Structure 1
C-alpha cells in the first residue's frame, strides 16, 4: 500500500494540545493520560508500564516479527536545587540543555501547595544596577536563578510558599504557528514527534489500512535523561523506528523540509537493512528526504539496544533549528514523516527470518556488495 494522506489540521491540533501540557521528565502523568485517551479514541488497545510509558497495539496479519514506532513524551525542564536567602531559587536542568536558553524563560513551579509562576533570570539582571556586568556574566546554571511571582523576599517566605528542593520547574513553550508553515516553540523535541505518530495512526484508522504484522506504537517518558525505550519492548518486536528531531545546523545535512534519515548517532550506525528500506520507501513514494549523522545525539533507539533488546533500529527525524533552545520546524517535515510511517507500517516484511529470535544461517541477510553480486550470479535470494 502506498503512503496515506495525512490530515494536516489534525496533526497541528494535536501538537498544539501537547505543547499546552507541561511534561518535563519525571512529571509526565498528565500528558500520558492525554495521549492514552486519544489512542483509545482512535481505536487502539493501550497499556501503561508502572511509571507510565505507553504501548498501544494495532493488530496486523500476524504477531511475529512485529514492528514498533516510538517517540518520547517527556521534555526538558528544571528542578529546584536550593532555596536562596534572597528569596530566589537555584536550579539544575532536567535533560541536557544550556542555561543560555533558560535565561528569560517564563516557568511554572509545581509545589505541594500548588503551582507558582516565575521567570528565570541571570544573577545580574538589571543594567541600571550592574551596568556592563550584565554582559560579562558567564553562561551556566550557576549564574541564573528563578524569581517566583509571589511574596518571596527571603528564605523564610519561600518556606511559607511550601516550595521545596526537588520541585519540578516546567518551561513555557511559547508556541507560534505561522501561516507559512513554520512552527516556533520550545519542546518541539519531541511533542512534534508524538503528533506525527498520532497523525499517522489517525490516517491508518480512517482508511482502515491493513498491516502485515502488529504495530506497537510506543511513547516513552524519560528519553531526555537517557532511559527511553529501555524497558518497553516485547520479544515479538523485530524492528523499531524512533521518531525524533534532527539538527538542521551548519555542518549538518538535516533540513526543516522532508524527512531526515539518520545513518548514525553517537551510539553508532543504525541498522543497515532497515535504514535502506526507509530510503527506498521515500524514493518509491516520492517523499523528500536527506541523510545525516548526529555526533552529539542519542534517541530511544540507543536506550533499547543498550538494554539488550535484539531489534533492528532506525531513526527518522524532522529537522529542527536551534534544538533544545527556541526551536523551529516546518509542517512539511511533519507531514512527510507521517507519510513515511504509514508507508513503512503497511509495507511487506522482507526479512522473514526476523520472526525468530534465534535461527540458522538460512535466510540471513546479505550486506557487502561482493556478497550481493555473488548472490545474483548464483540466482539466490539476496536474503539467503
Structure 2
C-alpha cells in the first residue's frame, strides 16, 4: 500500500501547542478541551467522559471488529504536601519520577486563588552558604522544596496567598525544537504520542480514505497514575494499539529513529498476532523499526487488560532518551509512527472471528510450532529475513 502523507509541520505545531497546556494527572480539563476543539476542526466525531477522557471515531467500511489507538493526555507533576514554616512548600510527586529531575525546575502552582510561579530547589541550594553540603545532600522528595515567586516567609503568608495542601503543581516543559529534528522537553511522554495520533487522524481525514473497520482514537487522562484506558473502550473494539514512549538507554533496543515495537512490558507479552502485524506493516511499507522489551514500564494497554477488557494489545513507541526527565526524541520517529497508524487503519482484517466477543474454534488463530530450518547458511538465507 502507499503510505498516507503526514503533515510534519502540523505535527510539530500541534506538539508545541500541547506542551503549552499544563496537564499533570488530575488537572487535565484544559488539555481535554484543546484536543476536543482540534477534533471539531478536523470534523471528527468524538465524545467525552465525565472526567474528561476522549473517544473519537472514524467510521470504517464495517463497524466490527473495531480497532483503536490510545495515548494519554496527562503528564507527571507534583502536589503540595505541607506549607512549611519557612514559607516554602513540601511536595509529593504525581506519577513516578525522580526528585533528581525536579531540582531546578520552574513550576506553576494552581491554587483556588489563582496561579503562582515557583522553583523547586534542594534544601541546601547555595554553595556560598553550604559549601560542600550541597553536594552531600541526598536525592529525594524529602530533600527539595518549592520556592513561590510571591512574598512568603511563613506558613501564614502562604495561607494568605491562598495556597493550600493538595494544590496541583505543573512542571514547566521548557521545550526546544531543533533544526536537525531533535526535540528536547519535559512531558514528551506522552504529548508526542497525542500529536502523532492527531497527525495520523488529519492524514486520514484529508485523504478521504475509508478505514477497513471503525477506528477509535482514545485520549486518556490518568495513565501516569496507573488508570489509563480502564473505562473508555467499547465492546466492539477488538484491538488496542497504545502509542507512547520507548526508553532508549543502555541495555535497551529502542531508538530515537523509526518505530520501536514493544514485545512485552512489566505486565507480560503483548498480543502475539497484533504485535507481529505491526512489524509486518513496517516491513511492507519500508518503515524503519526495531523491537524492545520493557521491564519497568506499563501503558494504557496494560490498564485496559487489567480492567478486564478482552482486546488484543500492542504498544508502538517513539524512542525517548531520559524518560521522565529532560526527554529527547526525534521527528523521524514521530513521522514513522503516524505513517504506521495510517497503514494499520487501512490494512485488511485477518482475524475476522474477532468481530464476535465469543465464538467457537472456527477461524481461531494459530501460532507456529514446527521446528525452524537449521540448515540455512548466511549465503542461502532468504532476503528480507527479519532483523530486529
Question: TM-score scaled to structure 1, two decimals?
Answer: 0.96
Partner of 1:188: 188
| 1:289 aligns to 2:289 (yes or no) | yes
Partner of 1:34: 34
Q: Shift of residue 63 of structure 1?
A: 1.1
| 1:109 aligns to 2:104 (yes or no) | no
Partner of 2:169: 169
Following superposition of structure 1 onto structure 2, how do residues 227-306 of structure 1 map, counting pairs within 5 Å?
227-306=227-306
Partner of 2:128: 128
Partner of 2:149: 149
Partner of 2:382: none
| 1:97 aligns to 2:111 (yes or no) | no
Partner of 2:356: 356
Partner of 1:44: 44
Alignment partners' CA distance in 2, 1:328 and 1:149: 29
DSSP 3-state at the match of 2:110: strand
Partner of 1:205: 205
Unaligned 5+ runs, structure 2 = 374-388
Q: Shift of residue 209 of structure 1?
A: 1.5
DSSP 3-state at the match of 1:64: strand
Q: Shift of residue 368 of structure 1?
A: 2.6
Contact kept, 8 Å, 1:120 with 1:146, in 2: the verdict is yes
Question: What do residues 179-210 of structure 1 show as CA deviations (whole Å, max 9, x unaligned)?
Answer: 00000000000000000000000111111121
Distance 1:321 1:219, change over 3 A: same
Partner of 2:378: none
Partner of 2:223: 223
Partner of 2:381: none
DSSP 3-state at the match of 1:369: coil
Question: What do residues 30-61 of structure 1 show as CA deviations (whole Å, max 9, x unaligned)?
Answer: 00000011011111111011100000011001
Runs of 4+ with >4 A deviation: none
Aligned residues: 373
DSSP 3-state at the match of 1:234: coil
Q: Shift of residue 107 of structure 1?
A: 0.2
Alignment partners' CA distance in 2, 1:64 and 1:112: 46
Task: Report the more deviating stretch, 189-198 or 206-215.
Answer: 206-215
Q: Shift of residue 302 of structure 1?
A: 0.2
Alignment partners' CA distance in 2, 1:212 and 1:321: 35
Partner of 2:67: 67
Alignment partners' CA distance in 2, 1:358 and 1:370: 28
Alignment partners' CA distance in 2, 1:295 and 1:3: 32
Q: Shift of residue 372 of structure 1?
A: 11
Alignment partners' CA distance in 2, 1:241 and 1:169: 31
Alignment root-mean-square deviation, CA: 1.1
Contact kept, 8 Å, 1:366 with 1:372, in 2: the verdict is no
Q: Shift of residue 2 of structure 1?
A: 3.0
Q: Shift of residue 370 of structure 1?
A: 2.8
DSSP 3-state at the match of 1:349: coil
Question: What do residues 6-25 of structure 1 show as CA deviations (whole Å, max 9, x unaligned)?
Answer: 00000000000000000000
Question: What do residues 270-323 of structure 1 show as CA deviations (whole Å, max 9, x unaligned)?
Answer: 000000100000000000000000000000000000000000000000000000
Alignment partners' CA distance in 2, 1:372 and 1:250: 31
Partner of 2:328: 328
Q: Shift of residue 89 of structure 1?
A: 0.0
DSSP 3-state at the match of 1:46: strand
Partner of 1:378: none
Question: TM-score scaled to structure 2, two decimals?
Answer: 0.95
Partner of 2:379: none
Alignment partners' CA distance in 1, 2:17 and 2:223: 20
